[in-house]
Chain A
């Protein structure tokens, strides 16, 4: 344990102009504003989380962020303490009277800077909540602290850039409509070359199914998109992609509820405009958690079904509506549960069911399912300036993968799929990272 060991890891902050474009006004008098915000924030879960912790320390060894940095401010309970000390000092009688004896500390600019550094070293993976004997979910505490920072104008550049891309172009990568159409045509060409079949990737059409992929599937994870297109084709589905809602991810979850609502609304509006009966989300962990668990709270009841591509594909495989040949995927495959898919949204058995039918040798890693370690880049931390930090904290995951001796590491989240190849490389593992749908695409008999 080394106090302050991770202090140097700090996300580049967004500039004022970038923030203003997102409707965030940086505040001069930060401390007063933050306290004003906290006073109004009266959430049952947060109060219970802050009051309940007995500081038993059981969370320490379960957090990859602490294991990787050895900085006790990255112990989930230690991270929560950064907020708890302020809550105690300003909002409890004991804290006002007894101060540091009960762990209370006044909010200052330095404390806010400490928040900015350490709350952006939490990947919001919620593994601590699984192991906490009381179920304290530090990701919710992180979300609150980040929301306070956002209200002050303290937002990382990476997150602000991604969200403004969605506002401008509909997706995280900032792919404009012509480029999106080009990519779809290119992928159609790839499929035709491989299978000789004419498979369409429709854009902005009225259809029963609106498919919302993470935009990375258009470029870096093109095989995932190819797999999805082939499955829709084989199932005879009436589907489309959209250039207005071309992003499954929702970075609002990582910094701002208002942004989360606006990004979610794009999908809801577009589904209605295109008359979709079903919105199917692609391989994006946190995006799926927002869509599944928060859509109704954010934008009201919807008349269409919200489904994940893995649920959809599981049904097709189960009912024999698509034919797959596992001998096309002979290398041993293991599966990394994305935090937001498994703990966050309960998509745990479906990817396993799919993998068992499309690959010959499926191996579980340990720990797995809701106990799986995070890839090390969730929570909006997939950024260059945190590279050293990201590699350090992904060690438990690398060890889990190594022990399986698998050659392919499948996962179902674009962030995991961007992080894991770097992790494999960093820890000297010759393992190829793949989406689940990539493997389905390869095994599909057309």
Chain B
């Protein structure tokens, strides 16, 4: 089997397996641990609804980080929004809100309803994808830079903290380049990703940088459940524990 076939048609399934199993393992290790004592961090809301809203607010908007360090707060928000957009814009611009839901209601996709042509839509997706890729690139570079530049953060950092940021930066740089200069045919990319999802993988876009980007990204995804990026989930559990009424 040649390397391209392995990386593009076999490795994705290994990645999905390790990624999924990794998260299951993580959740299991948290679930089987003894529950903590009542570590409520007051003030806390008095109703279940308000508590849920508070947990989401703390986990996604970090209001106290805004008070503590506005610059870091802004960078974090831009990073997360950029990451969400740029990852989804690889393939998912049509699904499910814009297409599946209107289809289910017997309508055509949202874009057609709004009178936006396919070309305009693709252009919009490209523009948004480019902006979000640059946002992620700049913010990750900022996270890395502050790790070197702020003495306290430098003191706290270990080799792995720098390494994972540098690694991410490489993935994102290649991705941003491919996106900005339309190196890869986006229709082909979407068809390829859809073919992975339907378990009948087709040949990927034929571009070396793209294949490097694809490979590095897969290794990162496999590593993700085992590093501190699990904070995307663990923070929800922590907030829940600290909002105990």
Contact = CB atoms under 8 A, between A and B. Distances in A.
Interface of A: 1, 3, 42-49, 51-58, 60-62, 72, 75, 77-78, 81, 94, 98, 100-103, 126, 129-137, 140, 293-294, 297, 342-346, 348, 369-371
B64 A131 contact: yes
Contacts of B155: 1, 3, 72, 75, 78
B234 A52 contact: yes
A136 B237 CA distance: 11
Contacts of A72: 151-152, 155-156
Contacts of B58: 135
A75 B41 CA distance: 20
Chain A facing B: main interface SS: helix
A133 B230 contact: no
Given A52-B228, A346-B42, A102 B153 contact: no
A103 B238 contact: no
B107 interface: no
Interface in B1-51: 29-30, 32-44
A371 B238 contact: no
A51 B234 CA distance: 9
B226 interface: yes
B235 A52 contact: yes
Contact of A44 (B35, B158, B239, B242): B35
B80 to A, nearest CB: 11
Interface stretch (B66-74, B91-99, B121-129, B200-208): B66-74
Contact of B238 (A49, A130, A343, A369): A49
A361 to B, nearest CB: 25
22 contacts: A43-B36, A44-B35, A44-B36, A45-B238, A47-B30, A48-B234, A48-B238, A48-B241, A58-B69, A75-B152, A78-B156, A81-B156, A102-B159, A103-B159, A126-B41, A130-B64, A131-B68, A297-B38, A342-B42, A345-B42, A369-B43, A371-B67
A344 B69 contact: no
B88 to A, nearest CB: 23
Contacts of A345: 42
Contact of A46 (B36, B151, B156, B161): B36
Contacts of B159: 100-103
A58 B146 CA distance: 12
Contact of A43 (B34, B68, B163, B237): B34
Contacts of B146: 57
Contacts of A103: 158-161
Contacts of B40: 293, 346
A248 B134 CA distance: 57
B76 interface: yes
Nearest to A77: B156
B84 interface: no
B64 A55 contact: no
A55 B153 contact: yes
Contacts of A57: 146, 150, 152-153, 156
A130 B234 contact: no
Given A52-B228, A61-B68, A130-B64, 7 more contacts: A44-B36, A51-B230, A72-B151, A131-B65, A135-B41, A135-B235, A293-B38
A94 B34 CA distance: 23
B148 interface: no
Contact of B157 (A55, A58, A133, A344): A55
Nearest to B36: A45
B237 to A, nearest CB: 6
B24 to A, nearest CB: 16
Given A53-B228, A55-B161, A133-B62, A1 B41 contact: no
A52 B68 contact: no
Given A47-B29, A129-B242, A100 B158 contact: yes
A144 to B, nearest CB: 11
B62 to A, nearest CB: 4
A130 B40 CA distance: 11
Nearest to B240: A135
Contact of A129 (B38, B41, B62): B41
A225 to B, nearest CB: 27
B140 to A, nearest CB: 13
A134 B236 CA distance: 8
